[in-house]
Amino acid sequence: MSTSISLTHCWNGGTGPAVDNTQLQLTRETGILEPDEDRGRYTFHCSSSASHAFGVQPSGDYHFTVTKIQDNPSGYYLSADDVTVKY
């Protein structure tokens, strides 16, 4: 089965400027002697619900990270109605 992340309606969390988009990165965790693996990034648009399939991933432990909000790595707040991860 493909690994996917869904994000429903994101916004600025009541603080700061409006938010239109956010980028999420899927990461596979590796051993302490190796760097974690970047398994892909996707930019979600906040005006609607969106889902992105990252494809079939190898077994292991994973996490996702917000890497950008409004195309910036810092300086913004983000809230979402719902976040779903399927694998």
For 50-73, the pLDDT digits (tens) are 899 999 999 999 999 999 999 999
Non-local CB neighbours of 58 within 8 Å, separated by 6+ positions: 28
Cα separation, 24 vs 69, in Å, equals 9
The residues near 1 (Cβ < 8 Å, ≥ 6 apart) are 56, 86, 87
Between 32 and 56, name the one with better pLDDT: 56
Q: Which two tokens stand for residue 3?
A: 């690994």
Q: Does position 15 have pLDDT exceeding 80, yes or no?
A: no
**How far does CA 54 lie from the centroid of its chain?**
11
Q: Give the pTM.
A: 0.86
CB of 28 within 8 A of CB of 37? yes
CB 13 within 8 A of CB 79: yes
pLDDT at 37: 96
